[in-house]
Amino acid sequence: MGFQTMQRGSFVLAGIHVESEFPGWNRKSEWLGEAFRQLDQRLADSGIQGESKYFIYHIVPWEGFIVGVEVEEGAELPPGFIAIPIPDVKYRIHAHRGPMNEQPQTFDSICASGHGEPPDGELTHFEKYDGLFDFEQDRGSFDIWIPVKTDEAERHPSDHPDISITAGPKLVAVTDKERSENYYIDVLGFTKDGCGELHRGELKLLLDEGPVSPIETAWHCYAYTRDDLQLDILYEELLSKGAFVSQEPHMTSETWKEFIVQDYDGNKIAFGANVEQRVTLGGS
């Protein structure tokens, strides 16, 4: 799949939240077309004009899907609009051509290509529409903008022998990817990037649909909070959202506390913290 790389400088989008939930790829064209029509109605009396329209599908912290247009920095926004700053970073721009329900294949091609530059899950991912897509006919083309992590020290390993290696996503086998993905996002608080990886903090997962073989183990992946106070707050958050609790918070030693949640297929994530860490941090 062809792509271009651009670092166009920082700019600002003015947008509104899409009020309805994502209906699936087969209805995305109708759903997004209606969202853009609502955006046009809101902009009609504001004096703001934008040749291109933007669909933000990944933002940290997660605020929901957003549609918007580019505005001048510091511009006065209409009531109900929010400003989304796009930083001066390197983006890979991939063109999608064809109906919306073929977009997952485009994402698969993007992720498979890689090009040695992992997507930056902490920055905003968006789609840009320049009037070349017909939402009523569900055909045409638009661009997918994915920010990439760039580190010159990593681009030239011969000059920098201390190679930096970061962990990739943990592969999680599930029987129903859509159901599981909704659970990880809506209940466990993950966000999804353009390559389909789920992120919460530094914990990264990649769901793989297929047969699931039961694995007799205490947990499938382990994550840490800064201290036991954050651990308790996280537990209460997940519990209030309906997480499947495998083990409630408990002490595994004199200094270590943990709890375990699981998904529909029994994949377990353990969260732990040192109970002495909060005292240490508080006294420093």
pLDDT at residue 283, rounded to an integer: 37
pLDDT at residue 279, rounded to an integer: 46
pLDDT at residue 254, rounded to an integer: 83
Query: What is the helix (H) or strand (E) element at residue 96, kind and residue range?
Result: strand 91-97
Residues of the chain with pLDDT under 70: 1-2, 112-118, 150-166, 214-216, 277-284
pLDDT at residue 153, rounded to an integer: 41
pLDDT at residue 282, rounded to an integer: 36
pLDDT at residue 117, rounded to an integer: 63
pLDDT at residue 281, rounded to an integer: 38
* All structural domains of the chain: 3-152 (3.20.80.10), 170-283 (3.10.180.10)
Distance in Å from the first CA to the final CA of the chain: 52
pLDDT at residue 196, rounded to an integer: 84
68-75 — which CB contacts under 8 Å span 24+ positions?
A: 68/13, 68/14, 68/15, 68/16, 68/39, 69/13, 69/14, 69/15, 69/39, 69/43, 70/11, 70/12, 70/13, 70/14, 71/12, 71/13, 71/14, 72/12, 73/10, 73/11, 73/12, 75/12, 75/14, 75/48
pLDDT at residue 214, rounded to an integer: 65
